[in-house]
Chain A
Amino acid sequence: MVENRPFLTMLSHFVVLVGLAIIAFPVWMTFVASTHSQQTMLQAPIPLLPGPHLIDNYTKVLTQGYGRVGSTPVMMTLTNSLIMALGVAIGKIAISIISAFAIVYFRFPGRMYFFWAIFVTLMLPVEVRIVPTYGVVASLGMLDSYSGLIIPLIASATATFLFRQFFLSVPDELTEAARVDGASPMRFFWDILLPMSRTSIAALFVIQFIYGWNQYLWPLLITTKESYYTVVMTVSRQANVVDSVPSWNLLMAMAMLAMLPPVLVVVFMQRQFVRGLVETEK
């Protein structure tokens, strides 16, 4: 800073630390709740420090699900979420990198129409056209399937735009050199463009993985079989089931498991995450 004001610096640290504590508090309480027995979690002043039932609760939730017989084990919903998140992230990146390649590196009739057709999808989130999209997916027979969970969500313009921006910044000399050497367009794509796009792909992957993992309304609508439930929707469903004796400890263990994978991705791939966040908003 420009001048030394110890008091103001202290105050800044203090404000940020208080903010951090408040922001982390819900997650701390969730963690605490997931380490206690069901009885402890039923009387009003619940404990503020972790208890001894951590392994019990998590094992139970992972292998048997929430309490009653016949409920889906979280292991299964976690797997579904992982399939969906990876499918959405990889699918989006794959279809948009090739369409951006076509739009930037080729001149062909109808190019601008395609460009605008992709562009307008930027404007309407799934939530807005949810009822008719459900109808379309139902009439295609894609309810209760991984393809129904994934494919309707990978039509989006942000990734195409990101790659388009990046390709436009790639020097023309590279393309010329490749052409002089007799490389075919696909050869140029695989050997030059794709390796150069590594950082953009990584950034986009982090953002889209989180987007896919955190989907809620879409899986809620199109899955009726428990074997396709994702973990986020299971947590929310269970939270709203009115039980005579709610198992807060198990519910919160499930919530922890639902949060953990995307949070770990963000924490460990922070640089790519920030980059992706800033770039997809351009």
Chain B
Amino acid sequence: MEKRVTFNERWLPYLLVAPQILITLVFFFWPSGQAIYQSVLIEDAFGGNTKFVFLDNFIHLFNDPGYYHSARLTVVFSFLVAAVGLALSLLLAVMADRVVRGATGYKALLVWPYAVAPAVAGVLWGFLFNPSVGIVAWMLQSIGIEFNYVINGNQALMLVVIAAVWNQISYNFLFFLAGLQSIPKSLIEAAAIDGAGPGRRFWDIIFPLLSPVGFFLLVVNIIYAFFGTFGVVDSLTKGGPGKSTEILVFKVFNDGFRGQDLGGSSAQSVILMIVVIALTVVQFRFIERRVHY
């Protein structure tokens, strides 16, 4: 897509793109280059000597069981966040779409969790499940379930998933609701005349027509679970107990800043960059398809 009518100026356009290009160069290309550069170096503890080690940092990483643990954990975590988040928000969206009166009101009541910072969401859920004063932990205990996310790794992971899903639910809900409302009513009516009940209509008409939105949300949610949940993890569990909630993006930060392992952390950054680029490409290809659809 190009404009037919344009202006002829020699210097003005450069002046106009300069601020953004400058900031992109300094804060995007330079650090990304540094990450790639540092990922092939080893630096000693005092920062004095650096040695070129080629792919040693990567080989080291791939031989590190801790890295595999973190990678596997991230996959499980993002699967849980995406699956639970999509299922719940689809349920809410379908139900809200069904009621003629009140759908907009429900929408207004459901949008705000998006505005809560992930780090604050972590604090909120941590408070509810706090082993000593948390109201939900107390309720669980009174029915005989011992819930202590500070010492139990699986429960910690569960809590991080809950907080992450909560934070993302309004986003998913809005997109599902928009998708539902764009399905032509005539299709639903035709099916109803042919005698299809609500359940049949959902699975045979609504669900397939909603699948492009669903797929788009799936990719967005995976990206969110990979990178957007740092705040939730950091304010809830700090990757613990043990390493049971140390997802990859948290490990990059932990190794780089707390562990001062710049080479290893940069190698992890490079791997994460490749993952994001792959996910973004998937997302874009899909959007291309939707445009032609």
B171 and A263 within 8 A (CB): no
A44 and B132 within 8 A (CB): yes
Show the binding face of B for A, using Cβ within 8 Å.
1, 3-10, 12-14, 16-17, 19-21, 23-32, 34-35, 38, 88, 91-92, 95-96, 98-100, 102, 106, 108-128, 132-133, 135, 138, 166, 169, 171, 174-175, 178, 185, 188-189, 192, 198, 216, 220, 227-228, 230-231, 234-235, 238, 249, 252-253, 256-257, 262, 265-266, 269, 272-273, 276-277, 280, 287
- Interface residue? A96 (CB, 8 A): yes
Shortest beta-carbon distance from A113 to chain B in Å: 9
Query: Which of A12, A46, A154, A270 has the most B CB atoms < 10 Å from its CB?
Result: A12
Known: A152-B27, A210-B114, A262-B117. A255 touches B133 (CB 8 A): no
B108 and A185 within 8 A (CB): no
- The answer for the CA separation of A188 and B175 in the assembled complex, in Å, is 36
A20 and B124 within 8 A (CB): no
Nearest CB in chain B to that of A8: its residue? B198
B127 and A99 within 8 A (CB): no
Interface of A is mostly: helix
Can you show 30 pairs from A to B with CB atoms below 8 A apart?
A: A2-B188, A15-B91, A26-B124, A26-B125, A26-B166, A46-B135, A46-B138, A99-B17, A107-B8, A114-B17, A117-B21, A124-B28, A124-B276, A127-B228, A128-B249, A128-B252, A128-B272, A131-B262, A131-B266, A132-B269, A155-B28, A179-B5, A214-B120, A216-B231, A221-B257, A232-B231, A236-B119, A239-B235, A278-B174, A281-B216
B280 and A122 within 8 A (CB): yes
**Size class of the contact patch on chain A:** 35 or more
From B121, B138, B171, B216, contact of A277 by CB (8 A): B171
- The answer for the CA separation of A117 and B124 in the assembled complex, in Å, is 39
Shortest beta-carbon distance from A127 to chain B in Å: 5
B13 and A102 within 8 A (CB): yes
A263 and B31 within 8 A (CB): no
- The answer for the CA separation of A131 and B249 in the assembled complex, in Å, is 11
Across the interface, which residues of B come within 8 angstroms of A244, CB to CB? Answer: none
